[in-house]
């Protein structure tokens, strides 16, 4: 059971969930969905909790902003001819051709959809199926390449999963799974590598502490610039 609380950071109000637990230390965690979780020993005085939170408020705000900017931006589509769609960082024009043999082909700046019907839902399903096939191919290649940098740590390569995600580009599970957002196939290859490397760093550092960013900088020195590219990209 957690209590809803808040602290002031300048003009900003930061909300957090407070949990009293059978534990020895106090921890502050900022989650990708914007949730701030504070876990403390049962007998901890509230003024001590507030003092610690005020000292860490700048750090909390920084991580909240990080996750806000890191959310995927998805623009609604009608799936009609002439509409533009992103694929690996490039814009392609959608072209629909009525044909009994249904398939999707990307060529010379055009995504050509061969469909039995000129129905937007049908076109959407065909395009998303094509995106998923391409994501399987490129995400697997990226995971294999990026994981090589972690070989010296004697870790087991995570299993790759792909699905639609509303609030994040990727996630890492302690069960050994890297999950990537299907929308990531629309970003440049270097951005895909950045998200994969980011999630792989969580194999060694669960939270976004100094150790995490030190490792990320070691694995991808220019990660900040690449992250900015990803944040500015839109469907």
pLDDT level of residue 233 (50, 70, 90 thresholds): confident
Which pLDDT band holds residue 70 (cuts at 50, 70, 90)?
Answer: low
Q: How would residue 203 be classed by pLDDT, with cut points 50, 70 and 90? A: very high
- Name the band, by pLDDT with cuts 50, 70 and 90, for residue 223: very high
Mean pLDDT of the chain: 91
pLDDT bracket for residue 76 (50, 70, 90)? confident
Residue 228 Cα to chain centre, angstroms: 13
Inter-axis angle of helices 223-232 and 210-219, to 10 degrees? 90
Spatial contact of 172 and 200, defined as CB atoms under 8 Å apart? yes
Mean pLDDT of 68-78: 72
Sign of the dihedral through C-alpha 75, 80, 81, 86? positive
Give the residue with greater pLDDT, 200 vs 62. 200
Find the angle CA(89)-CA(92)-CA(96) to the nearest 5 degrees: 145
Question: d(Cα 80, Cα 96) in Å, to the nearest integer?
Answer: 7
- CA–CA separation, 129 and 228 (whole Å): 28
Q: What is the pLDDT of residue 77?
A: 85
This prediction has a pTM of: 0.73
Question: How does residue 1 score in pLDDT terms, banded at 50, 70 and 90?
Answer: low
Q: How far apart are CA 100 and CA 200, in angstroms?
A: 43
Averaged pLDDT, 188-215? 94
Overall size of the chain counted in residues? 235
Closest CA to 125 of 70, 56, 79: 79
Q: Does the pLDDT of residue 211 top 60, yes or no? A: yes
pLDDT of residue 192: 97
Residue 234: is its pLDDT beyond 60? no
Closest-CA residue to 140 (of 185, 175, 187): 185
Average pLDDT over residues 129-145: 98
Q: What is the pLDDT of residue 71?
A: 64
| Strands of the 159-163 sheet, one edge to the other | 159-163, 177-181, 170-173
Q: Which two tokens stand for residue 63?
A: 């991580």
All structural domains of the chain with their residue ranges: 3-69, 84-232
Q: Which residue bears the tokens 């937007």? A: 120
* Least confident interval from 32-36, 37-41, 184-188: 32-36
The answer, yes or no, to whether residue 33 has pLDDT greater than 80, is: no
Q: Is the pLDDT of residue 200 over 70?
A: yes
Q: Which residues are CB-neighbours of 137 under 8 A, at least 6 positions away?
A: none
Mean pLDDT, to the nearest integer, of 170-185? 95
Fold exhibited by the domain 84-232? Zincin-like (3.30.2010)
């Amino acid at each position: 059971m957690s209590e809803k609380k808040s602290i002031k950071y300048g003009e900003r109000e930061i909300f957090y969930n407070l949990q009293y637990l059978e534990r020895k230390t106090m921890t502050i965690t900022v989650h990708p969905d914007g949730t701030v979780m504070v876990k403390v020993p049962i007998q901890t005085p509230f003024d001590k909790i507030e003092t610690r939170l005020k000292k860490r408020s700048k750090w909390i705000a920084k991580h909240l902003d990080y996750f806000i900017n890191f959310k995927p931006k998805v623009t609604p589509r009608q799936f009609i001819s002439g509409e533009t769609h992103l694929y690996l960082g490039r814009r392609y024009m959608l072209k629909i051709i009525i044909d009994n043999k249904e398939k999707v082909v990307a060529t010379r700046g055009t995504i050509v959809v061969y469909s039995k019907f000129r129905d937007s839902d049908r076109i959407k399903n065909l395009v998303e199926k094509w995106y998923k096939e391409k994501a399987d191919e490129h995400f697997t290649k990226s995971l294999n390449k990026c994981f090589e940098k972690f070989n010296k740590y004697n870790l087991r390569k995570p299993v790759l999963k792909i699905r639609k995600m509303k609030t994040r580009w990727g996630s890492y599970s302690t069960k050994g799974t890297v999950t990537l957002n299907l929308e990531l196939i629309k970003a440049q290859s270097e951005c895909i590598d950045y998200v994969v490397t980011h999630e792989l760093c969580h194999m060694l550092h669960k939270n976004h502490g100094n150790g995490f960013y030190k490792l990320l900088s070691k694995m991808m020195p220019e990660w900040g610039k690449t992250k900015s590219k990803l944040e500015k990209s839109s469907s």
